[in-house]
Chain A
């Protein structure tokens, strides 16, 4: 019988990892989340407080998965404050995954902040497939760099490369992920670009990919209520991020007039990115 991903599972948080003062990873056991595809998300229920969409983070233990939260709004702060032993609810995983074309040999991965979560699942996936990757990990400052050690561990002996950059130059290369990417695509060849992070960063990555005729896939984020294509809260032009995404390719992205321009608030009104 097919497992019903809509049926809520209550799981216990078995471990918490402080990534930075404002970013935390919560580890739990759940077989559906363990086998989630890169780019898919869970609807996480914080009982009597909120339910929020979260990309599925990898965990080294079989049958386990995690979510990595940046303390930001009401729901994410509540989830951030969960402790070991607390119960949370899960449904999903939902959404479309990153896809890898046949004959793909080398890819470029550009991630910012918690946008690295679906990308690390992708990196972990391709490390078994002999596809080489160059990963650009961006943060504003040294204090906000996380997942570096974990990424190095995953790509160890795979011939892949990790480049860390910070906006203020306090760690790694000084500059944005997009400026690092512009040098990389000039000096090297890639079969595809994968990105997730702040939308304006992704917009820059997509534009640069288009200019270099590189296929590109981006995992987007929008406010969601249902996660299953009923409420329409996550609509982006004629697409529903929850069901048609979260991952979109260059062709789909080129038709989205609001990509990198605006998102919809909880009441459905459009708000421009600053």
Chain B
């Protein structure tokens, strides 16, 4: 890589993955259509993460599943709706040049093994294991809060692939750094932090909870400082590549996450007000910042905050 080439100002390395810029689509957003992935790539995105895929198709919860709360924050309990392994591997079979990371969700190591065996022949850059969805029982956070389950699942995926594995952690009942340590020791290469946080919203006119599932996950502006803290702690203590996620709505947020220690940054909820063009806008502005600060490459920002005591 030639750092003097202006096209490489924004390129980053995530374990074995080379990205043209640090922006990624967060899992759960858009995420089911190859045509949409291609459109996002045309909008200069670095990579996409798919919706979390399970062995069998899941319809998810009835609506309301996504609530705009105002102030750039959102509450969702979609219930991991997804087309399942068979339909989704067909969806991605035509993929040639889009950097796609498949998000996996399941309730046992067997399910994860089964999925990786099917997906591993596709042209994808790696996997993100969702161990932090806060609103579906026997999946996501319920497993993420159990270090032994995390260990077993990550090992099951590791045995079946040589591709990079990221584990998506959230703020649950065990310390996020400990959870990340278990995942890395079991063979994960990257940590994605953080997922949404358990939250609720009640309508005072009808006096009823709004989400059909009652409880969901909070995303957007409200959770950004928590995401920054988690990325900072994980990257500082474990010295592993971290993908920052949570409340990123501008190029400034991407920079902040990178200074905290993120090698790449996922963007999601903001699409509800900005549309897909946000990736083009953000990458353009990131380049301006890198040039203004006289950096050879944006990676020079990663973890600058670690040096302060």
Contact = CB atoms under 8 A, between A and B. Distances in A.
B83 A231 contact: no
B83 A269 contact: yes
Nearest to B64: A51
A231 B206 contact: no
B1 interface: no
Interface of B: 29-33, 35-36, 38-39, 51, 57-60, 62-68, 70, 74, 78, 81-84, 87-88, 203, 205-206, 208-210, 212, 268-269, 271-273, 275-276
Interface in A8-57: 8, 10, 45, 47-52
B275 A238 contact: no
A141 interface: no
A91 interface: yes
A229 B274 CA distance: 9
A238 B38 contact: yes
A52 B65 CA distance: 11
A230 B70 contact: no
B201 to A, nearest CB: 10
Nearest to A10: B205
Interface in A180-238: 225-226, 228-233, 235, 237-238
Listed from nearest, the 5 A-B pairs whose CB atoms lie closest are A232-B30, A51-B63, A6-B68, A10-B205, A226-B66
Contacts of B67: 8
Given A4-B70, A228-B272, A269-B57, A235 B32 contact: yes
6 contacts: A10-B205, A51-B65, A225-B81, A235-B36, A267-B83, A268-B82
Contacts, number: 116
B68 to A, nearest CB: 4
Given A267-B83, A268-B81, A237 B35 contact: yes
A172 interface: no
B271 A229 contact: yes
A49 B212 CA distance: 7
A260 interface: no
B63 A269 contact: no
Contacts of A89: 203, 206
B32 A264 contact: yes
Contact of A267 (B57, B206, B208, B210): B57
